[in-house]
Structure 1
Amino acid sequence: MTETLARGDRLLVGRDISDLDGFTAQIRAAGLAVIVLIFVLAAVASIGVTRRTVGRIESINATSRAIMRSGLDQRIPLRGSHDEWDRVAENLNLMLDRIETLMGEVKQASDNVAHDLRTPLTRMRGRLEKAYHAPRGSETDAALIGDTIADLDAVLGMFASITRISEIESRARKGAFRTVNLVEVAGEVVELYDAAAEQDATRLRLAGEADVPVTGDRDLLFDAIANLVDNAIKHGRAGGRVTVTCHNVEGGAVMSVADDGPGIPAEQHDRVFKRFYRLEQSRYTPGNGLGLSLVAAVAHLHGARIELADNAPGLLFRLSFPAPAVGAQGG
């Protein structure tokens, strides 16, 4: 800083800043040290994360190899860290649980198919062998051939039911959806099974409202209700009653079939919808264990909720349908 004095002299005032240069040098050195430290820490963290990631991947690979060698009973271990790798392991374990369940269902279905097909095929073979060795007689031959055809029809019907269920589950039938009066469909089913109910002295009746609209495939709904009524008559109490009820509820419609038979144990409510699954007491009654599977497929296609409840005594089977689609065509 300079200043001119009264006599013309100039005063110059200054300050030595060499200490400031030293401070700047220290700041530069510290900055370089921090940068080096950051790189070192980043390298250490990178190595740690890489080793941890590789370790978790190797754990998953080891479990996968164990599963391929010994079966689906192995699971990926969790470390309790609740991080992304633990979540991945949990999801993979859930997927393995689901696969194991599906494989068990496939095995159960295969066992049931083998059990259900063995009896009619054995009967057919026995009849044909008897016809082969016995003297020819028109009436005897006709009876044997008729019984064999009946058994073959039963086997073919089983495979037709499987194909039909697969077709329904693939949602290939939604093009036939129309607004349908559920009461009319249920009434046709009750009329069809009235004679079968009378043979067992069962009282079959239709109750509820007169107009219960739903959006769906009329033929599939008929098949589903028919299977429910058929099951109620077959497995209900002889001389009992079966009631089919249709009524409107807020946001949709409900159709129920109730009987006063022995019912189904609560722990088996979910199992009865599996293909070929039959209760032990039903093993020796006519049927192939596909009726409720078809009902479940039709309900799923129509967005309906299935409920099984104790009718005290007996079983109450309820289908809850959503409200009819706006603009659906009548049928």
Structure 2
Amino acid sequence: MLLAKTLRSSTFRLALIAIGTFGLIVSAIFAYVYWSTVAYVRSESDRAIMAEQANLREAFAHSGRDGLVALIGQRIADRSFAGHVYMLAGPDAAVLAGNLGQWPSGANEPGWTEFRARSLPSNPLVRGVTERLANGDRLLVGRDIGDLDGFMARITTAGIAVAALIVLLAAVASIGVTRRTVGRIESINATSRAIMLSGLDQRIPLHGSHDEWDRVAENLNLMLDRIQTLMGDVKQVSDNIAHDLRTPLTRMRGRLEKAYHAQRSGEADAALIGDTIADLDTVLAMFASLTRISEIETRARRGAFRTVNLVEIAGEVVELYDAAAERDTTRLDLAGDGEVLMTGDRDLLFDAIANLVDNAIKHGGAGGRVSVTCCNSEEGAVIAVADNGPGIPADQHDRVFKRFYRLEQSRYTPGNGLGLSLVAAVASLHGGRIELHDNAPGLRVRLCFPAAERKA
């Protein structure tokens, strides 16, 4: 099954194309080397033949036919000239000297020629040059090139064997690599099918090789973890929305049903309408908060960014909540630097700080203290809101930023669990971060933003 998929894979086809291209390149290189070697060896052989021809011509010029015949006889008798072929023939084609029995056919015209010397042992292939001397005689000087042909045949055989071996090794390597690639892809596909059938609990197995396939598998597993987390968050949000909507909707239905069966009364009907409107406002506010958080998270509000002073915004929030703090006998104050500049959306920053101050007043308890501090630091622009209430357990710090998440001690206080989610979204939109710290007692929330660039 895996072999069939390997042979059908695009990777294998690409490997075949690469092997074919590589084979053509190797063949071209081999052909170049072969013909270059042949040309070089033949040129060296031809140079030696021409040098010998010049020597014989010089002997003829000094000593005539007799001197040339004598020199040819010496050459034939000399072992160092073994493999050389000589022939001197008269105008009537009669053999005057040499080691050939007759003048070779096809060598009647002066110039280069190749022929089989059938009168010599082993019937060698001879390459030679012929010329006509001044007295009408014909002279042939050549060499046995059978060794050259054998040498070239061995080169050809070796080249073909090497090329075949290279192609074979390339084919085996390509099949092995393709098989491994297809195997890893099939592992990913199998996990994907299992996820579609059984859910997000499956993960792609790692081979421990730390190669690119393991890195792809790790990234896909991280993506699956993230998707699983998001799906869990969606389920939690859906459950919380259902839980938080059930109470006001149940109250509204109960009031309407009671009014439906009761006698009409102007004052009672007005009270019923007022309470129902209040519950509907609560539901609508919840959906408005969700819409606002989604709008912030999609970065749709960056068009209103400008340089703002956090101290001024925090001062307006403190002034707004001063009456609520006095009602709960809570001391609310603002401290820190006189100017803390940053680039952002003034309205969103106001809402974020207002949510933190509102939470601090509600959860800090009567007779407590809420302090708002703005300062410039190496981290940038920082605003902190601290209270001396019960605080948030350390193991709950990451969870409180989820939508509708509420601590057990906060279940019966007004709110819908969206405040810190909105604050976190605003911080992320401005490139900042939100931190929760123990205020011993109480909670200290820090918002850290990049400082605004100061003009020179």
TM-score of the pair, normalised by structure 1: 0.92
> Partner of 1:279 in structure 2?
407
> Partner of 2:238 in structure 1?
110
> Partner of 1:77 in structure 2?
205
Q: Which runs of 5+ in 1 are unaligned?
A: none
Q: Which of the pair has more CA radius of gyration?
A: 2
Distance 2:82 2:315 in 1: 110
1:190 aligns to 2:313 (yes or no): no
| Secondary structure in 1 matching 2:446 | strand
Distance 1:15 1:86 in 2: 69
1:220 aligns to 2:348 (yes or no): yes
Q: 1:157: Cα distance to partner?
A: 0.4
Letter in 1 for 2:426: V
Match of 2:397 among 259, 263, 269: 269
| Secondary structure in 2 matching 1:86 | helix
> Partner of 1:201 in structure 2?
329
Q: 1:325: Cα distance to partner?
A: 4.1
1:314 aligns to 2:442 (yes or no): yes
Q: 1:125: Cα distance to partner?
A: 0.8
TM alignment of 1:113-192, pairs within 5 A: 113-192=241-320
- Deviations 1:64-100 (Å, cap 9, x if unpaired)? 1111111000111122222222222221111111100
Letter in 1 for 2:221: N
TM-score of the pair, normalised by structure 2: 0.68
Q: 1:212: Cα distance to partner?
A: 1.2
Q: 1:252: Cα distance to partner?
A: 2.2
Distance 1:319 1:50 in 2: 52
Q: Which is worse superposed, 130-139 or 225-234?
A: 130-139
Structure 2 contact 308–342 (Cα < 8 Å) conserved: yes
Distance 2:390 2:361 in 1: 12
Match of 1:234 among 356, 359, 362: 362
Distance 2:205 2:146 in 1: 64
Q: 1:23: Cα distance to partner?
A: 4.1
Letter in 2 for 1:199: R
Q: Which is worse superposed, 315-324 or 52-61?
A: 52-61
> Partner of 1:92 in structure 2?
220
Q: Which runs of 5+ in 2 are unaligned?
A: 1-50, 84-144
Q: 1:15: Cα distance to partner?
A: 5.8
Q: 1:34: Cα distance to partner?
A: 1.2
> Partner of 1:302 in structure 2?
430
Letter in 1 for 2:260: Y
- Deviations 1:127-161 (Å, cap 9, x if unpaired)? 11111112222222222221111111000000111
| Secondary structure in 2 matching 1:320 | strand
Closer, same or farther: CA 35–125 of 1 in aligned 2, 3 Å: same
Letter in 2 for 1:59: S
Match of 1:59 among 158, 162, 187: 187
Q: 1:202: Cα distance to partner?
A: 1.2
| Secondary structure in 2 matching 1:168 | helix
Distance 1:45 1:139 in 2: 91
- Deviations 1:102-146 (Å, cap 9, x if unpaired)? 000000111111111111111111111111112222222222221
Q: Which is worse superposed, 52-61 or 251-260?
A: 52-61
Distance 1:52 1:192 in 2: 67
Letter in 1 for 2:159: G
* Identical-residue share of aligned pairs (%): 79
Letter in 2 for 1:145: I
Using CA pairs below 8 Å that are at least 6 residues apart, which structure has the higher relative contact order? 1
Structure 2 contact 296–429 (Cα < 8 Å) conserved: yes
Structure 2 contact 379–448 (Cα < 8 Å) conserved: no
| Secondary structure in 1 matching 2:194 | helix
Closer, same or farther: CA 314–50 of 1 in aligned 2, 3 Å: same
Match of 1:252 among 380, 393, 399: 380
